[in-house]
């Protein structure tokens, strides 16, 4: 008998796979071994790969009935961000099931999808079912940091494991965004990630003349840096309507029955303002962004330092990086140089494709009222690694969510939890989609 998906999700949460970044954390090995055992029970032959001890990745291939067709990659991560137990209503690694939810760190990011996929495989094994296409499964490490021990390393060193993959599905898409129309009726919107903004994390370095803090200094590195950051923060980046963003605005606007004006920046902003809770999925992806996040300079209050540093979280829409960086250089001005400390290009799949249509059909099977739309993710996932192999990547980790449930606040947030019924819905949708 197949274990209930909610119990499996709770078990996965109980493995503390905290990733603190910079190679620090508990590691993914115990969770990976648990996953490998479940894959073995389903008749598969998983392999565990580690770049460093305890930083485990699990890979397996489900043979399809038509190996001549392109394979589907299902990519998930086993690591989670830290959680402070004192801030939570429950122990974040206890995997409690109560009030209709599975609670714990990783419940929606993304041990939920790990559980739904394992449940689908268990079902297939019990039924003797074989999918039409090969399915490649990747349960990876280190997504919550750089992917150095996970997806990016696998792509660089073990790309043969992804041979034949033409499409990939992963986190951040396929979940319900219940949204009220102006007449008060409810629309159930399901965004599927067809794009991601790129990452161009910058280190800014300002140099000047060191000296005594009590004396006039017209070449103060701190002042240069602060002035540059002010110009950068105050800059209004232009609206850029990529295919995913334009399609989202047009299709959601039509479904909600609100005016859509994409002819100007003001019109786009006004359109988003009419979208209610659905605005959160697009408000950060109509423009590039440059947000200062880290500052460091000096060591003593009465000493003007020679050097000052800042880090800027820069996110880049497809096709815009060259213009963005030229404008950044203009805004920084003389005496401040920039360099990359993280650089990954945007991801962009087709908005209208047979893959998108298949995902939409899988969602509509259990929810005929589903309004399935493409969208661009504001952040990033391991799709940035797998897209380097020429694989078309989508955000598709289906969940049914109730109205008022702030899904986006759950990931990395306090009291992270996922509805039990949402998990069961995800199993049905993924079963249909992955079956072929």
Say yes or no: 405 and 303 in one domain. no
171 tagged catalytic: no
pLDDT by residue (tens digit) across 41-83?
999 999 999 999 999 999 999 999 999 999 999 999 999 999 9
Q: Are 421 and 100 in contact (CB under 8 A)?
A: yes
Say yes or no: 414 and 321 in one domain.
no
What is the pLDDT, as a whole number, of residue 131?
A: 98
Report whether pLDDT(1) > 70.
Answer: no
pLDDT value at residue 359: 98
User: Does residue 334 sit in the same domain as residue 206?
Assistant: yes
Please state the rounded mean pLDDT for residues 279-308: 97
- Does residue 33 share a domain with residue 97? yes
pLDDT at site 25: 86
- What is the pTM (predicted TM-score) of this model? 0.95
| 143 is annotated as an active-site residue | yes
What CATH number is given to the structural domain containing 215? 3.30.70.360
Q: State how many domains the chain has.
A: 2
133 and 210, same domain (yes or no): no
Which of 117, 2, 102, 13 is closest to 398 using CA atoms?
117
Point out the catalytic residue in the list 6, 142, 143, 416.
143
> Across residues 246-262, what is the average pLDDT?
98
Containing structural domain, residue 19: 5-172+381-435
The total number of residues shown for the chain amounts to: 436
Q: Catalytic: which of 16, 79, 196, 431?
A: 79
Q: Do 165 and 216 reside in the same domain of the chain? A: no
Q: Which two tokens stand for residue 286?
A: 């109509």
Residues 304, 395 within the same domain: no
Please report whether residue 116 resides in a domain. yes
Contacts of 394 (CB under 8 A, 6+ apart): 167, 168, 169, 170, 173, 192, 193, 194, 349, 355, 356, 359, 383
Q: What is the mean pLDDT of the chain?
A: 97
Residue 86 has pLDDT above 70, yes or no: yes
Q: What is the pLDDT of residue 436?
A: 86
Q: So what's the pLDDT on residue 113?
A: 98
Are 164 and 206 part of one and the same domain? no
Q: Are residues 15 and 152 in the same domain?
A: yes
How does pLDDT run across 100-156, given as a tens digit for each residue?
A: 999 999 999 999 999 999 999 999 999 999 999 999 999 999 999 999 999 999 999
CATH code for position 29 = 3.40.630.10
pLDDT above 90 (res 20): yes
Same domain, 305 and 425: no
Closest listed residue to residue 321, CA positions, set 198, 146, 205, 195: 198
Residue 138 sits in the same domain as residue 203 = no
Tokens of 82: 């830290």
Identify the band that residue 408 occupies on the pLDDT scale cut at 50, 70 and 90. Answer: confident
Whether residues 205 and 80 share a domain: the answer is: no
- For residue 365, tell me if it sits in a domain: no
């Amino acid at each position: 008998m197949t274990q209930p998906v909610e119990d499996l999700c709770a078990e996965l949460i109980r493995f503390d796979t905290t990733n603190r970044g910079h190679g620090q954390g508990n590691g993914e090995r115990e969770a990976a071994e648990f996953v490998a055992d479940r894959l073995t029970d389903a008749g598969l032959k998983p392999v565990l790969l580690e770049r460093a001890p305890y930083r485990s990745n699990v890979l397996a291939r489900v043979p399809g009935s038509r190996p001549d067709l392109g394979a589907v990659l299902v990519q998930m991560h086993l690591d989670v961000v830290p959680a402070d137990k004192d801030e939570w209503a429950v122990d974040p690694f206890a995997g409690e099931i109560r009030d209709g939810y599975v609670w714990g760190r990783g419940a929606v990011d993304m041990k939920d999808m790990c559980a739904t996929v394992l449940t689908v495989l268990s079902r297939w094994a019990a039924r003797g079912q074989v999918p039409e296409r090969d399915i490649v499964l990747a349960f990876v490490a280190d997504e919550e940091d750089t992917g150095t021990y996970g997806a990016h390393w696998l792509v660089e060193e073990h790309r043969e494991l992804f041979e034949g993959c033409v499409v990939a599905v992963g986190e951040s898409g396929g979940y319900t965004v219940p949204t009220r129309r102006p007449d008060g009726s409810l629309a159930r919107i399901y965004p599927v990630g067809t794009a991601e903004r790129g990452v161009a994390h910058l280190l800014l370095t300002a140099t000047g003349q060191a000296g005594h803090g009590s004396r006039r200094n017209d070449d103060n590195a701190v002042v240069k840096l602060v002035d540059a950051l002010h110009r950068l923060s105050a800059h209004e980046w232009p609206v850029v309507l990529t295919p995913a963003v334009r399609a989202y605005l047009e299709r959601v606007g039509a479904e909600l029955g609100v005016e859509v004006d994409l002819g100007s920046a003001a019109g786009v902003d006004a359109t988003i303002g009419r979208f209610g809770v659905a605005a959160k999925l697009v408000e950060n992806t109509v423009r590039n962004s440059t947000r200062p996040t880290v500052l460091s300079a000096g060591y003593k209050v009465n000493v003007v330092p020679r050097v000052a540093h800042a880090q800027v979280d820069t996110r880049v829409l497809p096709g815009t990086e060259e213009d963005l960086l030229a404008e950044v250089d203009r805004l920084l001005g003389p005496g401040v140089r920039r360099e990359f400390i993280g650089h990954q290009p945007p991801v962009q799949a087709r908005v209208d494709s047979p893959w998108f249509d298949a995902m939409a059909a899988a969602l509509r099977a259990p929810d005929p009222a589903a309004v399935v739309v493409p969208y661009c993710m504001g952040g990033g996932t391991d799709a940035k690694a797998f897209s380097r192999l020429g694989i078309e990547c989508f955000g598709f980790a289906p969940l049914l969510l109730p109205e008022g449930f702030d899904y986006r606040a759950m990931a990395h947030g306090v009291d992270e939890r996922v509805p039990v019924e949402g998990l069961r819905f995800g199993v049905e949708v993924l079963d249909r989609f992955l079956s072929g």
